[in-house]
Structure 1
Amino acid sequence: MLAIRADLIDEIVAHARRDFPVEACGQLVGPEQEDRPERYVPMTNADEVASDFAFSPVEDIRLERELDARGERRMLVVHSHTRVPRRPLTDSGLPEAYPSVKDVAQMEWTPDQHWLIVGLTTADAAPEVRSYHLSDGEVVEDDLQVVESYMFAHTGSDDVPDEA
């Protein structure tokens, strides 16, 4: 299971809406030794086209230096898919928020990272938020859980903290 705080998802969706119809992009980052992202870093889409994205090289280098200085790492590549998909608009059976062929090729460069995709058909449409990773070269959808806090993300909804 991949847990991500709701406030981070809200930031990502707001970014995707602002940049629509151009694909928004960014990174979810967190402490080096942890497995949960703590902040969203929106980035400039250097491609500036509706159906593709590329991180600004200058921002990407700046982010890498900042992460090194803060003891953080990249955890999830984030981008949106607008309704200008690389696949036909016919019913492919795939969700809008599904990695494109190019996404999958790029996922192979960073096999330790997950890819969070926000599907938007219009700027004000309900977002479709999904996450994926590669396993043995195959795209696998993550069991994504949006949580208010990471404190009890691993427990059930009926769990309560122990009394001291």
Structure 2
Amino acid sequence: MLTIHTKLVEAMLAQAHRDHPIETCGVIAGPEGSNLPLRLIPMRNAAQSETFFKFDAQEQLRVWREMEARGEEPIVIYHSHTRTQAYPSRTDIQYATEPRSHYVIIPTDYSYGEEIRSFRICDGMVTEERVRMLNSYESNLELAMVA
């Protein structure tokens, strides 16, 4: 199950709607081993496509190095689907290289539903999981939105 702060979900939704009709993408980092998403990092869709997303290779390297230096890992990897349901495509599955991450898909075509969906993708196997949204975390952890 993905447990995530409502403000992070709102930020992903806002980014997806700003970028529409291009698929949006990004990462939410959190402390290594915690499974707690805290720091939203919007990224550029290098494909600039309405049906496909790809992280810019240099930006991804910089973000992953920054996470490592901060003792973080990618808790959530997210992107939008602008013309299909919020379910991983074959390409999404092929490019899913972080087996511990939650893969969140944001629908921007509401004929396919309005809810974000989260998946675990490991060795080509896709498992949908529940999303639990909270208005606060139980500790004094701070959320961060990176511009």
- Normalising by the smaller structure, the TM-score range is 0.7 to 0.9
Aligned partner of 1:32: which letter? E
CA RMSD of aligned residues (A): 1.9
Alignment of 1:121-136 (within 5 A): 121=109, 127-134=114-121
Match in the other structure for 1:155: none
The answer to whether 1:139 aligns with 2:121 is: no
8 A Cα contact 2:103 2:121, kept in partner: no
Contact 2:5 2:137 in 1 (8 A): yes
Return the TM-score normalized by structure 1. Answer: 0.77
* Equivalent residues in 2 for 1:7-156, closer than 5 Å: 7-83=7-83, 85=84, 96-107=85-96, 109-121=97-109, 127-134=114-121, 137-151=124-138
Inter-CA distance 136–65: structure 2 relative to 1 (3 Å threshold): closer
CA shift at 1:48, angstroms? 0.3
In 1, distance between residues paired with 2:86 and 2:119?
A: 10
Contact 1:120 1:128 in 2 (8 A): no
Q: Is the 8 A contact 2:2 2:102 kept in 1?
A: no
Query: Secondary structure of the equivalent of 1:128?
Result: coil
On the 8 A contact 2:102/2:118 being kept in 1, the answer is yes
Give the ranges of 4+ consecutive aligned residues of structure 1 lying more than 3 Å apart after TM superposition: none
**Identical aligned pairs, as a percentage?**
38
Greater shift, 11-20 or 52-61, is seen at: 52-61
Equivalent residue pairs, number: 138
Instruction: Quote the Cα distance in structure 2 between the aligned partners of 1:18 and 1:56.
Output: 19
Unaligned runs of 5+ in 1: 86-95, 153-164
Q: Give SS of 2:55's match.
A: coil
Which residue of structure 1 aligns with residue 6 of structure 2? 6
Structure 2 residue runs of 5 or longer lacking an equivalent are 140-147
In our comparison, the structure showing a higher alpha carbon Rg is 1
1:13·1:127 contact (CA, 8 Å) conserved in 2?
A: no
Q: Distance in 2 between matches of 1:134 and 1:56?
A: 21
Separation in 1, partners of 2:17, 2:30: 24
Structure 1 residue 34, shift from structure 2 partner:
1.2
Deviations 1:96-126 (A, max 9, x none): 111111111222x22222200001117xx97
